[in-house]
Structure 1
Amino acid sequence: MVNKIFFAGTGNMGGAILRGLLQAGNDPKSIFFFDPSDKAAAEVSALGCVRVASFAEGVNNADVTFLCVKPQIFKLVSAEWKAAADAIANEKTFISIMAGVTRAALTDVLGAKNQVLRVMPNLPLTVGKGSVGLATDGVTETTLATAEKIFGNIGVTCRVAESLMDAVTGLSGSAPAYVFEFIEALTRGGVKAGLTRDVALKLALGTIEGSVELVKQSGKSPSDLCAMVCSPAGTTIAGINALEEGAFRSTVMKAVVAGTERSKELGK
């Protein structure tokens, strides 16, 4: 049973997970955090969470520690983390969201005695609709189940080999930004066609939400559903043709691969 959770870092993603846990009903007094920024810390403290003075204090107080700093900062804090981990008597669980930082690198710092799990969440966890990839290599079933329990109320989880974590980063970790861009593009298209921005945005959001639900419930592939909308010589196939002229699918695929490659670079 996970009783206390510590966040080392409460930036965009760490803060999203933290707020998602609160939204799911977790007691804020059971959530500890360390953030060197007084301004950022004040916002989290206002939620009822407990600020600690150091990484070591947070680790000692918690059952599970979330490592939520930027991957570029990992080397700067690794000595402090190692000292804190070496001082721990009992096994602890660490969950890292740092893109590109391997489990081997984390274990070198945090020690083989502790459970170290890599995950890749995304921003929609804030509203309880996120996606999380869990790297299964080298961790126990108990640790995986613990992570699935933590994330279960704020998103969906998928277990993958660690070798695929960069791909998870390139897809679900980065894709919310691609979706936001798509929503904006649909909205601008509606405005260009004569709709007000408010109406265009409302229609775009409702259409995307309904389309996602249809994919979930219908059991049909996205391609099959697309074909159902495309009447012969109709409006939709004309729009699909315009997308194809702009290499829409190819461009999205390139974006996922670019994010994957950047995740690999961050790990070097």
Structure 2
Amino acid sequence: MNQKIFFAGTGNMGGAILRGLLNAKVDPKSIFFFDPSDAAAAAVSALGCVRVKNFAEGVKKADITFLCVKPQIFKLVATEWKNAVKALKGTKTFVSIMAGVARKNLVEVLGAKNQVLRVMPNLPLTVGKGTVALATDGVNEATLKAAEEIFGNIGVTCRVAESLMDAVTGLSGSAPAYVFEFIEGLTRGGVKAGLTRDVALKLALGTIEGSVELVKQSGKSPSDLCAMVCSPAGTTIAGVDALEEGAFRSSLIKAVVAGTERSKELGK
């Protein structure tokens, strides 16, 4: 990859993407960034990346700009960004990770002549195991492939229509919290059954990791795999029955839908 990349913001998500590029052996001198925090900037500069004094300088130097500020900051910086982009010659590519900020609003600021891609990453991206959805609306194939190449260093990618980004937020964007709750529930169950918390957590994590890998490699559906574990009148079917009494799957469905609806509200 010989493109120059600019990060407007290097918080958890922006920093994870940036570090993923470095792990993929991208030259740090080809990565520019702006962060108003001297402490945060010092940590990124220590990696060899180049700090710029403002958005205008960074976007001018780069081929691809990652917009990694918090969504509520967008309205505060929109005028500055618009003026900076107006001064540019040629076209640029922008990738926004700002949840709830529609592409049409980004295009109003960044200009219709530029490639503007909206993506939705999730928290596990910070450990190189995230998922990233790319909204395909109004974006050419070259931009999509470039984004997939970048994000492929730190997770898995999928393409969706922008109209489905709220659903992505409700599922992969929010689901890490549901998984953490699941892990905690299994751990507490183990403790209640007599295990120490350390042992219960270790067993829960190992079981989840192995189960995920089995779904990936087996080619079987989660329902088929569940049936394989449930021996007639055995311990597992007794546990599954207890989950059904608590509307386990229904609760997860409701959680994803609730997150989706909330994302739509925030987008307004």
* Distance in 2 separating the partners of 1:24 and 1:180: 29
Q: What does residue 207 of structure 1 align with? A: 207
TM-score, normalization: structure 1? 0.95
Contact 1:4 1:63 in 2 (8 A): yes
Report the 3-state secondary structure (helix = DSSP H, G, I; strand = E; otherwise coil) of the residue aligned with 1:33. strand
Report the 3-state secondary structure (helix = DSSP H, G, I; strand = E; otherwise coil) of the residue aligned with 1:69. coil
Query: Per the alignment, do residues 163 and 2 of structure 1 end up closer, same or farther by CA in structure 2, a change over 3 Å counting?
Result: farther
* Distance in 2 separating the partners of 1:191 and 1:131: 32
* Distance in 2 separating the partners of 1:5 and 1:121: 18
User: Is 2:159 the partner of 1:159?
Assistant: yes
Q: What does residue 87 of structure 2 align with? A: 87
* Distance in 2 separating the partners of 1:2 and 1:151: 16
4+ residue stretches of structure 1 with deviation over 6 A? none
Equivalent runs, 1:138-157 vs 2, <5 Å? 138-157=138-157
Q: What does residue 174 of structure 2 align with? A: 174
Equivalent runs, 1:39-188 vs 2, <5 Å? 39-188=39-188
RMSD after superposition: 1.4
* Distance in 2 separating the partners of 1:2 and 1:144: 16
Equivalent runs, 1:188-267 vs 2, <5 Å? 188-267=188-267
Contact 1:72 1:266 in 2 (8 A): no
* Number of residue equivalences: 268
Q: 1:235 is matched by which residue type in structure 2?
A: T
* Distance in 2 separating the partners of 1:262 and 1:108: 24
* Distance in 2 separating the partners of 1:17 and 1:24: 11
Q: 1:209 is matched by which residue type in structure 2?
A: E
* Distance in 2 separating the partners of 1:161 and 1:173: 16
Report the 3-state secondary structure (helix = DSSP H, G, I; strand = E; otherwise coil) of the residue aligned with 1:53. coil
* Distance in 1 separating the partners of 2:253 and 2:48: 41
Report the 3-state secondary structure (helix = DSSP H, G, I; strand = E; otherwise coil) of the residue aligned with 2:148. helix
* Overall identity of the aligned pairs, in %: 85
* Distance in 2 separating the partners of 1:17 and 1:243: 37
Kindly state the Cα deviation for residue 51 of structure 1 after the two structures are TM-superposed.
Answer: 1.7
Equivalent runs, 1:18-57 vs 2, <5 Å? 18-57=18-57
Q: 1:48 is matched by which residue type in structure 2?
A: G
Contact 2:67 2:96 in 1 (8 A): yes
Report the 3-state secondary structure (helix = DSSP H, G, I; strand = E; otherwise coil) of the residue aligned with 2:91. coil
* Distance in 2 separating the partners of 1:170 and 1:2: 35
Kindly state the Cα deviation for residue 2 of structure 1 after the two structures are TM-superposed.
Answer: 4.6
Contact 1:2 1:64 in 2 (8 A): no
